[in-house]
């Protein structure tokens, strides 16, 4: 027996399929009976995939842009600059273009973390800046150089001409040379002829000087540096000369009597 066509079943099956309207309503959250679904619909995995792809593209574009900028800066530094200029000439051009001076208000304040700098004009600096050239010239002329006063040399002491004091001193020195008091008369006559017992006595023709008429005069320096003014220094030197050459004042006087000098 052949099977009869099952048309009725096919119609029944097609009738049980959901309609397009019912599918649309189901996707929008409305049931076929018109009641809304409880809960929310979960997001699709495809949406997350699309967002992630976009972010990756933007990051890649940013990295490429940064690399291109770095390459441009490196090429400008390493390679000569266009129009025949090199890096040093470019730096020189920048230096020449820089302003020669930078000014700021006198009361400007600059703040850094933990540091505060304030610019204020000093009253002294303002007064100096306000001075005119004429005032500066007047002040300069008023300044007097410090000069050292040369030390004034002390005037040499004047010779002490005191014949009486000189004779008294000579008499006191006889014993130191081993002479008796009788030698004083010979000594008095000898030096009276030579200098009149004057400390400043000088023979212009020969240069002999002092009571004992030392020739040259500076021979008496062996007895003292004050030989030119001190009669005591002159008498000590004269007695020593007589002792060494004639032995005593009377021996010197005898020689002077015979030849006119001793």
Helix (H) or strand (E) holding 70: helix 45-78
Residue 102 neighbours by CB under 8 Å, 6+ apart: none
Over range 127-134, report the average pLDDT. 62
Over range 12-34, report the average pLDDT. 48
**Distance from C-alpha of 173 to C-alpha of 240, rounded to nearest angstrom:** 11
pLDDT at 110 over 50: yes
Check residue 245 and give its pLDDT. Answer: 96
**pLDDT tier at 63, thresholds 50, 70, 90:** confident
Helix (H) or strand (E) holding 116: strand 115-118
Q: What is the pLDDT of residues 190-217, one digit of tens each?
A: 999 999 999 999 999 999 999 999 999 9
User: Under DSSP, is residue 110 helix (H, G, I), strand (E, B) or coil?
Assistant: strand
Say if CB 209 and CB 227 are below 8 A apart.
no
- Which percentage of the chain shows pLDDT scores above 70? 47
**Distance from C-alpha of 102 to C-alpha of 204, rounded to nearest angstrom:** 86
Choice between 137 and 217, residue whose per-residue pLDDT is larger: 217
Q: What is the pLDDT of residues 66-89, one digit of tens each?
A: 777 666 655 655 555 444 455 565
Sign of CA dihedral 186, 192, 193, 195: positive
Check residue 67 and give its pLDDT. Answer: 74
**pLDDT tier at 29, thresholds 50, 70, 90:** very low
Check residue 76 and give its pLDDT. Answer: 59
Mean pLDDT rounded to a whole number for the chain:
73
pLDDT at 227 over 80: yes
Angle at alpha carbon of residue 227, lines to 234 and 210, rounded to 5°? 50
Chain center to CA of 27: 92
Check residue 155 and give its pLDDT. Answer: 66
Q: What is the pLDDT of residues 237-254, one digit of tens each?
A: 999 999 999 999 999 999
pLDDT at 131 over 60: no
Check residue 253 and give its pLDDT. Answer: 97
User: Under DSSP, is residue 238 helix (H, G, I), strand (E, B) or coil?
Assistant: helix
């Amino acid at each position: 027996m052949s099977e009869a066509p099952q048309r009725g079943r096919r119609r029944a099956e097609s009738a049980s399929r959901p309609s397009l309207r019912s599918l649309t309503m189901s996707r929008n959250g409305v049931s076929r009976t018109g009641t809304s679904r409880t809960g929310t619909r979960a997001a699709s995995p495809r949406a997350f995939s699309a967002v992630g792809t976009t972010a990756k593209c933007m990051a890649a574009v940013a990295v490429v842009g940064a690399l291109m900028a770095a390459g441009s800066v490196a090429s400008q530094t390493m390679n000569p600059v266009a129009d025949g200029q090199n890096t040093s000439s470019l730096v020189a051009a920048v230096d020449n273009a820089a302003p020669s001076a930078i000014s700021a208000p006198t009361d400007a304040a600059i703040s850094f973390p933990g540091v505060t700098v304030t610019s204020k004009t000093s009253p002294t600096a303002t007064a100096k800046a306000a001075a005119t050239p004429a005032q500066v010239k007047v002040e300069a002329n008023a300044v007097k150089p410090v000069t050292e006063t040369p030390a004034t040399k002390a005037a040499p002491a004047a010779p002490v001409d005191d014949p009486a004091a000189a004779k008294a001193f000579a008499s006191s020195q006889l014993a130191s040379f081993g002479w008796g008091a009788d030698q004083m008369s010979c000594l008095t006559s000898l030096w009276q002829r030579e200098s009149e017992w004057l400390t400043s006595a000088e023979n212009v023709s020969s240069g002999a000087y002092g009571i004992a008429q030392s020739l040259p005069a500076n021979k008496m320096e062996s007895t003292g540096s004050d030989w030119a003014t001190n009669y005591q220094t002159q008498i000590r030197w004269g007695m020593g000369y007589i002792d060494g050459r004639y032995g005593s004042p009377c021996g010197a006087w005898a020689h002077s009597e015979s030849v006119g000098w001793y």
